[in-house]
């Protein structure tokens, strides 16, 4: 089923993209963000601030309940479709944030992700990024390419795309916006034809 709005911009709710996605591993579920997720999202961010601040510019400012609520309210409609990753079939703890961005131009979606520090190394990000990749190609027939971008120094994030069949397309120079960033960004891509093989 086609999804999106005029000009290819994402909005929530989006036809063809379920609000809840079973990740299929570890009892994980991706669920569309709600404003009432603000307290649990704030707790997950606070538990991971030292690691997040290394690479995520949005984590440089100390979050508050008000700023997190404002972020969640800003998601519909917009250019970002965000999901929380929850344990225990969706009834457990929030363990990270994932989403689609359409900021790379027509026909391309970007997947972004982070996992709270006390849940890294368990395969959660890989499983959730795999689920989002599958949903993106199924729900957006006009999308021919999906990208995952990360700093080469962010070894944990950079290990995920090749496990999912993405190839390193290029490394770009970018502005440094967080202390651990190198000013370079690896661009991993998966094309629709390749994903079907």
**In the chain, where the domains are located:** 6-195
pLDDT tens profile 135-147: 999 988 899 999 9
Higher pLDDT among residues 17 and 6, named by residue: 17
User: Would you call the peptide bond into 77 cis, given omega within 30 degrees of 0 as the criterion?
Assistant: yes
pLDDT tens-digit series, residues 75-119: 765 456 899 999 988 778 999 999 988 888 889 999 999 999 999
pLDDT, tens digit, 9 for 90 and up, residues 37-70: 999 999 999 999 999 999 999 899 999 999 999 9
Whether residue 121 has pLDDT greater than 70: yes
pLDDT band at 9 (very low <50, low <70, confident <90, very high): very low
Percentage of residues of the chain with pLDDT beyond 70: 87
- What is 6-195's CATH number, 3.30.950.10, 3.40.630.30, 3.80.10.10, 3.30.70.920? 3.40.630.30
Q: What is the pTM of this model?
A: 0.86
Judged by DSSP in three states, 7 sits in: helix
According to DSSP, residue 107 is labeled T
């Amino acid at each position: 089923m086609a999804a999106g709005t005029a000009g290819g911009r994402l909005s929530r709710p989006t036809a063809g993209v379920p609000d809840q996605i079973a990740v299929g591993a570890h009892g994980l579920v991706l669920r569309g963000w709600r404003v009432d997720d603000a307290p649990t999202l704030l707790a997950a961010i606070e538990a991971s601030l030292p690691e997040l601040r290394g690479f995520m510019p949005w984590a440089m400012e100390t979050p508050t309940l008000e700023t997190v609520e404002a972020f969640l309210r800003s998601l519909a409609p917009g250019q970002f479709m965000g999901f929380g990753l929850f344990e225990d079939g969706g009834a457990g703890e929030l363990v990270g944030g994932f989403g689609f961005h359409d900021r790379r131009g027509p026909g391309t979606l970007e997947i972004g992700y982070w996992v709270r520090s006390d849940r890294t190394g368990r395969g959660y990000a890989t499983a959730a990024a795999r689920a989002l990749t599958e949903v993106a190609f199924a729900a957006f027939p006009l999308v021919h390419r999906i990208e995952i971008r990360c700093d080469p120094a962010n070894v944990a994030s950079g290990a995920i795309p090749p496990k999912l069949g993405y190839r390193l397309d290029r490394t770009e120079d970018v502005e440094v916006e967080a202390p651990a960033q190198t000013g370079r960004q690896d661009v991993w891509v998966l094309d629709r034809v390749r994903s079907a093989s």
